[in-house]
Amino acid sequence: MTIYEKYGGEGTIAKVVDSFYDLVLADETVNHFFEHTDMEKQRRHQTKFISYALGGPNQYTGQAMAKVHEGMNLQPVHFDAILKHLRTALAHFGVEAADIEQAIAKVETLRDDIQYK
C-alpha cells in the first residue's frame, strides 16, 4: 500500500496541501515567492504533484522542476523551510513519522533541480 492510499488518497492530500500553504504563506522566509501566484491553481497543482510523489496516480502535468523554478534563485534556507512546512502539515494530519520521512526523501531528490535556478 502506498502512502497515498494509506492516508485516504487525493482528498487527504488536498487537505495537507492547504495546511502546507497556510504555513508557507505565513512564513516570511518563503512567502514572497508566492506574491503573484494564483494560489487556488497552485494548491490544485501541488495536490496532484504530492499525490503522485506519495504513490498516487500520475496526474502531474506541470513543467520540469528546474524550468518552473527558473529565475527564482531559491537557496537552501528556502528549500529547507518548504520541507519543514511539509513535515508539519503531514504530521498535523496524522501521517506517521516513517511515512513523513519517506515523503520528505522523495521531495529531497528535487533539491538540485530547484535550488540556485
Q: Which residues are annotated as a binding site for heme?
A: 45, 69
- The alpha-carbon radius of gyration of the chain (Å, integer) is 13
- What φ, ψ does residue 74 adopt, rounded to 5°? -65, 135
Residue bearing cell 511539509: 86
For 94-117, letters b (16+ CB in 10 Å) and e give ebeeebbebbeeebeeeeeebbee
Binding region: 45, 69
